[in-house]
Amino acid sequence: MRVGVYGAGGLGGYFGGRLAEAGEEVALIARGEHLEAIRANGLKVESYLGDTWVTRPSIVTDNPSDVGPVDVVLVCTKAWDVETAAKAMRPMVGPQTTVVPVQNGVEAPDQLGEVLGRDRVIGGVCNIASRIGGVGFIKHTFSVDPNLKLGELDKKPSSRVQDLKHVLEEAKLSVEISEDILASMWEKFLLFAPAVGIGCVTRAPTGIWRSVPEAMALFEKALLEVHAVAEARGVKLNDDAIARVRDIVEKVPENASTSTQRDVLEGRPSELEFLCGSVTRLGQEAGVDTPVNDFFYSSLLPQEKQNRGEIKFPSF
């Protein structure tokens, strides 16, 4: 299978490294020093599972026109880059190309579909944590099974999803086909958006805010708001979805935090707009009040704007 990986950061580098090591024809879209290092020395991947390897993808470039149409594009950019990436990747998308977003949040399939055609897009949910450990170097730090959930947006079985599942499994990834991929995406969102909000506002890891009843109560209210927005938008979540989120929060390590929380607090641009911001925006569209998530988003927006260089805080 000819696979394009758009974005060679933590996730894209890991997927590209696994697929190239398995012998697939991988075209990796990267940029800057990371791109030059991979071209010169190959892509090094180190996994907490115990394996480390260096591989050379078939194509490493910052220009999608160098690649041409592929069978599959894994869209591994940050959520705020999806719309720009959709327009840029057009040379990689032919009549039979499948496009798979793996971002946090729930809006990427629609963004890609508007540019590339909804029939080309399937849904994806990623359960992998990895990061750039240095130029040309990807460090896989954590994952749960299944590593990926895939599914057609119309809930119908398809050969292209089955074929992709087989290719990814050959690359040592665990994959599950979801009967309702939008529900699967929203069930991750149900945990992730409130956790980002409460983690950023309290500036505390999970083990701290879950131990403070007042903070935990705020998280619970945010959780219920996201659930209400999903239902109002016609997404049928599993009956135990809220209970499973509560169970995860109780079981994660005390020092756990989300990648978005770390970005916000360490002064980097983050996916705030597509997590807390999405709850606010999608809630308004559905006629659902989301006061706690609105508070998270509005409170964190000044910091986000500073991190993006749009405003500058004065010295106190």
Q: Is 159 a domain residue?
A: yes
The predicted structure's pLDDT at residue 316: 79
The predicted model scores a pTM of 0.95
Domain count, the chain: 2
The predicted structure's pLDDT at residue 199: 98
The last residue of one of the domains, among 178, 213, 236, is 178
Q: Is 312 a domain residue?
A: no
Q: Is 314 a domain residue?
A: no
The predicted structure's pLDDT at residue 202: 98
How many other CB atoms are there within 10 angstroms of residue 240's CB atom?
11
What burial class does residue 266 get, using C-beta atoms within 10 Å of its C-beta: 0-12 exposed, 13-18 middle, 19+ buried? exposed
State pLDDT tens for residues 86-101. Answer: 999 999 999 999 999 9
The predicted structure's pLDDT at residue 226: 98
Pick out the chain residues at pLDDT < 50.
Answer: none
Q: Residue type at 201?
A: V
For residues 106 and 235, membership in a common domain is answered with no
Which residue segment(s) compose the domain that 198 sits in? Answer: 183-307
For residues 207 and 160, membership in a common domain is answered with no
For residues 18 and 133, membership in a common domain is answered with yes
For residues 11 and 137, membership in a common domain is answered with yes
CATH number at residue 173: 3.40.50.720
Is residue 112 within 8 Å of residue 150, measured between CB atoms? no
Mean per-residue pLDDT over the chain, rounded: 96
DSSP 206-249: HHHHTTSHHHHHHHHHHHHHHHHHHHHTT----TTHHHHHHHHH
Is residue 70 within 8 Å of residue 27, measured between CB atoms? yes
> Residue 143 pairs with which residues in a beta bridge?
128
CATH number at residue 249: 1.10.1040.10
C-alpha to C-alpha distance for 179 and 136, rounded to whole angstroms: 36
